[in-house]
Structure formats: C-alpha cells, structure tokens
Structure 1
Amino acid sequence: MSSSGTLGRYIALSPEVIIWARCLIGAGALFLILKITGIPIFIGWGRLFRMVAISGLLLGGHWVMYFYALQYTSVAIGMLSLFTYPVLTALLEPWMLGYRHKWSEVLIALLAFSGVFFLVPEYSLGNNITVGISFGVGSALLYSLRNIMLKKNITEHSGMTLMYYQLLILSLVMAPVVLIGDWGSNVVAIAGQWQPLLVLGLATTAIGHTLFVMSFRYFSITTISVISSLTPLCGIIIGFFVLSEVPESKVLIGGAIILASVVIESARSIRQNQSR
C-alpha cells in the first residue's frame, strides 16, 4: 500500500480514470483468486450487500480525493494528510458504535491536526498545497467511515469477497465517468500507462488492500493503525528514490506530529483493551 503515493504522482491520468482502471484490474484479479481457491463469492442482496455497496462508494470517494491530493501536492504531503484517518477513526468510532467519547481522544485529535498545520503553507484555496491537503483530510474522513463500517461486518464473510464486491461496484459506478464523452482518448491513455496501472491494481489494491481488510478479523482498527503508520514513511522513501521528491523540514515536523498522535492513540487503546 505504500506504493500508492508514488503511483498516484507517476501515472499521468485523471484520478477518476486511474481509480476506474484500478478497480477493474483489482476486481478481475480477486475474482480469479476466489474461483481458484473456492471461497464463496455470492453474499446475497440483503443488508450485507447494501453495507458493502455503501462502504465501496466511500472507498471510491476516498481514493479519488486521495489521488487529487497527490496531484496537487507531493507524496509526503498527500500521504501524511491522509494519515489523519486513524485519529479520525478514534473520534468517529464512539459516535457510530454508541459509546461515550473520552477527552484524551479529543486532545490526541487536536495534536494530529496541529501536525496538519505544519503542512499547510497558507490558508488560501488559491494555493495548490492547501487544496491538496484539504483533499487529503477529506479522503481520510471517508476512509475512516469505510473502515468502521467494514469492521462491524467482517466476521460474516471473507475480507477478499467483500473487497471484490467493493471493487466490482466501483468499476461499474465509475464506468460512465470514463467511457462517456472522450472515451477513446481515455482508453488510449490507459493503454499507454498499463504497467503502473497493473502494479496499482494488482499489488497495491488486490493484494495490499485485501490483506488490510482481512486483518480486521484478527486485530482492532487501532492496532492496525499502529502497523499502518509505517505506510507514509515507506511511501516517502519510495517517492524519494522513484520521483526524487525530498520533503521540506516543515513537512517532516508535521508528519512526525501526525504519526506520533497515531501511535499515542493506538497505545492508549491497546492499554484500555488489555485492562478489560
């Protein structure tokens, strides 16, 4: 998953076209894996399907906004603004699952967003970096909502099956955006970028995101957040070697604050769970 930032900057297509191709490739790969392994595919048309459809749309919105964030900024800023999502999850989970917030969660959220303050050069939508960070934080919000929704339902079916349905639904929903209008140019552009799109669809999406969803069955979302806090660090390193992007000192300070808030919140949650 760390490769998504560099690929989002590298692929010279609009975010909508990238995400459609990503979903199409990922859904095709997961369908083959499900058929080969014999894992049940059909989940019915009831409550679970509606949940998967809604969470899939949230995932699509998250991806499109994230890739806009990357195109407006850099690998470092795009990924770090997205990685406010674990703290947003800590704020949203009590509200969505019906239990009381703690002041510590609010303070940690404020710490995380103070890190975002270091990323923002000026508070003006005329500045591309500010626009990109806004997309990144919006992407984080949608990602948090999607993860909480999936966490509540992951025990019913394989994470691979749920991911397949999300990608399939997204590829169908987004097809008109790509194929209506100048569809010929879009198809030619996709064909010209097939190698990085294949990496994005297979390695980052079909494998990376499916393993991420499957981990919900075995770990709390907070514990997963600790592990995934390495993602932007790895992504920045990949961006340095592939795109020669060197983060500024302010970005590194802001990133350190954001990741510190994630680790603090995760450690607090783990201690709380162990004391139960």
Structure 2
Amino acid sequence: MKNQHSNHLLQLTLATLFISTSGALGKYIDLPTPVVIWWRCFLGGLFLYAFCYYKKFDLKVHSRKDAVAITISGLLLGAHWITYFYALKLSNVAIGMLSLFTFPIMTTFLEPLFIKVKFDPVYILLGVMVLFGIYLLAPEFNLESTYVKGILFGLLSALFFALRNIMSKKLVSSYNGTHIMLYQVSILSIVLAPTLFYFGTSGIKTEFPYVIMLALVTTAMGHTMLVNSLKHFTVSTASIINSTQPIFGIIIAFIFLNEIPTLNTYLGGSLILATVIIESVRSRNK
C-alpha cells in the first residue's frame, strides 16, 4: 500500500512539473490567447486520441448526465486556461502562477459543497500556509499597472480551475483520466474554432514547436496525469500538492525567460514545500 501511495504521489508530482511548463510557454508564445488555447486543445486532442486508439479504449459516454458534466467541466477548463494566459500576458510568470495558486484554498471550501467529502479543518491551516507562502513568493505588486488585471485574471482562473477539478473528481469513478481530457479538449476545440477566423493564425509557423510542447507535455501528459491522480487523492489534497507549480514555473521562467527570482521567492517556496510535505505525509497515513 505504501509503495502504491508513493507511486501515485510521484505521478502527481510529475503531473505538476509538466503543467508548470504552461507559465513560461504561455508567456513566451506570441499569439492571441484564444488561438493558443485552440491549438493547444486541437493538438492535445490528437495526441490523446492516438493514445486511446493505441490502447483500444472504449470512448463511449455512458449517460446524458455524464455528457452534461463533461461539457461543463470542459468549458470550465477552457475558461481557466484563457484567464490564466491573460494573467501571464498582463503580468509575468511569477504573478500569473502565484495568483492562480489560491485555488487550493478555494477548493477546500468548495469541495464539500459538491462532493460528499467531510471538511477537514486542517485544510484551513494548510491553505493559510500556502497563501502566506504565495505572499512571500510574489514580487512587489505595482497596483497602478496591468499587474492588477493580471492578478484578477489569475484569481478568476483559480476559481474556474477549482470547479473543473471538482467536477472531474466526480467523473473519474466512471472514466479514465485520458478519456476525460480527450472529451474536454475536443469540446473546447469546437467552441473556440470561431476565434481562428477572428484573430487569424498567421503567426503559428514560428510558434509551432512551442505550441506542440504546450499541447503534448503540458496538456496531454500533465493534465491527464493530474485527472488520474484524483482517483487516489481528494481534490483538496491534490490541489495542495499541486501548489509546487509556482516553484517549478518560476525556475523554468528563470532558465528560459531570464525572470530572476528574489529572496522572497526562496522563502515562500520553502513554506509551500513544507506544506506539501505535511499534506503528503497526512494523505499517506489516511
């Protein structure tokens, strides 16, 4: 049991690392946000479908109720991605990711309202620790610039992400995480298709390698592994462990975008890591 738990924890950590690439990629790719998200969904969907075809998965949706839940969760995922990318474009990788990572706190309060999960008061303390860590990680906020809009978009993205994860949790008992992600990105590919005519895709040629990485590593691999992890962890636990994303994201941004972290980044990162370790031990002993 403990070895299985360690394997599940490793998969969730890898999912977190893969998803963390979205910060640097979202900031770097020079295309309109809806167009980036469409390519992300379209290419990610192709990768996921090829995998399902190879594995001979049954892709049938079992009921109309499930179809509605999948559609709503897909739209929430799209809203999360779009608002998150706007947060990155308006500010920087650090602020975009840090404002997004208020979602574990939102999740701990929202999850008992949608799923029969007993509210654990310890999550309040862990959530406060994460919030304080995020506060320490954040650079000095300039409230007179577009950073304010970036923070607001990040907070809105956090809300959409928390709701999407909660809905996905309800689906994983009946569907594989790969199926759910394939359904979600397929729905978004259809919904966002009209934006291609409005914004155009003339710049895709130079950005294509980075869009492929976003679709394959971040979306097809990272988000599928995250959804699969919900079979083994509560949404709150997975969300708190996922809070290492800003640390990974800031390191990636430092290496590839030369965004230099401050001393507060290290202090806040250490606090978040301590929270993750505490929750990992607690979830192991449950």
Q: What band does the TM-score fall into relative to the shorter chain?
A: 0.7 to 0.9
The 1:107/1:203 distance shift into structure 2, 3 A limit, reads closer
Figure out how many residues of one structure are paired with residues of the other and give that number: 267
| Displacement of 1:97 | 2.7
CA RMSD of aligned residues (A): 2.5
Question: Would you say the 8 A contact 1:8–1:70 is kept in 2?
Answer: yes
Deviations 1:109-152 (A, max 9, x none): 4554455555374584x422222122112111111111111112
Deviations 1:127-179 (A, max 9, x none): 22222122112111111111111112211011111110100000110111222
Structure 1's unaligned 5+ residue stretches are none
| Residue number in structure 2 paired with 1:158 | 176
2:155 pairs, out of 116, 120, 137, with: 137
For 2:204 and 2:271, the matched residues in 1 are separated by 38
> How many percent of aligned residue pairs carry the same amino acid?
39
TM-score for the superposition, normalised by structure 2: 0.82
The 1:237/1:99 distance shift into structure 2, 3 A limit, reads closer
| Residue number in structure 2 paired with 1:60 | 78
| Equivalent position amino acid for 1:52 in 2 | I
The runs of at least 4 consecutive aligned structure 1 residues that moved more than 6 Å come to: none
For 1:15 and 1:222, the matched residues in 2 are separated by 29
| Residue number in structure 2 paired with 1:3 | 21
| Residue number in structure 2 paired with 1:242 | 256
For 1:99 and 1:42, the matched residues in 2 are separated by 28
TM-score for the superposition, normalised by structure 1: 0.85
Which secondary structure state, in structure 1, belongs to the residue aligned with residue 157 of structure 2?
helix
What pairs with 1:253-272 in structure 2 (closer than 5 Å)?
Answer: 253-254=267-268, 256=270, 266=279, 270=283
| Displacement of 1:249 | 3.5
| Residue number in structure 1 paired with 2:231 | 217
Question: Would you say the 8 A contact 1:52–1:166 is kept in 2?
Answer: yes
The 1:37/1:268 distance shift into structure 2, 3 A limit, reads closer
What pairs with 1:3-152 in structure 2 (closer than 5 Å)?
Answer: 3-44=21-62, 46-97=64-115, 101=119, 104-115=122-133, 117=135, 119=138, 121=140, 124=143, 126-152=144-170
| Residue number in structure 1 paired with 2:9 | none
For 1:107 and 1:127, the matched residues in 2 are separated by 32
Structure 2's unaligned 5+ residue stretches are 1-18
| Residue number in structure 1 paired with 2:208 | 194
